[in-house]
Amino acid sequence: MRTAYKVRAYPTPGQAAVLNRTFGCVRLVWNRTLAWRSARWQGERVATNASQANAYLTGLKRDPELAFLGKVSSVPLQQVLRTQQKAFTNFFARRARHPRF
């Protein structure tokens, strides 16, 4: 027998601020990395692997305009790159659509 639980979180204002900041940074990393991958593919016809995407994320964190990326946990930022890599793998295997912004 399977059991399901419905849970709802009620973060404090401080926790909500941290979550909102993290979600915003994840969205920014997804969009910037997707644009970078697309530009590389259209310009040079070069596929991007996970280690190159991680190096790109490191470059983003070193950019003075994006210094706030270093203030959030790196785990969600790295996870978004793994998710994007899987999305592209599924796209090229014709199991999914092209990842969107």
What is the tens place of the pLDDT at every residue in 43-99?
A: 988 888 899 999 999 999 999 999 999 999 999 999 999 999 999 999 888 999 989
**31 belongs to a structural domain:** yes
Q: Is residue 49 part of a domain?
A: yes
Give the chain's domain count: 1
Domain assignment present for 100: no
User: What are the tens digits of pLDDT across the range 11-31?
Assistant: 999 999 999 999 999 999 999
On whether residue 6 sits in a domain, the answer given is no
> Is pLDDT at 41 greater than 90 in this prediction?
no
Examine the pLDDT at 1 and tell me if it is beyond 90.
no
Q: What pLDDT is recorded for position 46?
A: 83
Has residue 7 been placed in a domain? no
Range of the domain at 59: 13-92
Residue closest to 48 by CA, chosen among 98, 62, 40: 40
Question: 2: burial class by Cβ within 10 Å (0-12, 13-18, 19+)?
Answer: exposed
The confidence score (pLDDT) of residue 16 equals 96
The pLDDT score that the predictor gives to residue 2 is 87
Q: In the prediction, which pLDDT does 45 show? A: 86
Distance, CA of 95 to CA of 88 (rounded, Å) = 10
Give domain status of residue 3, yes or no: no
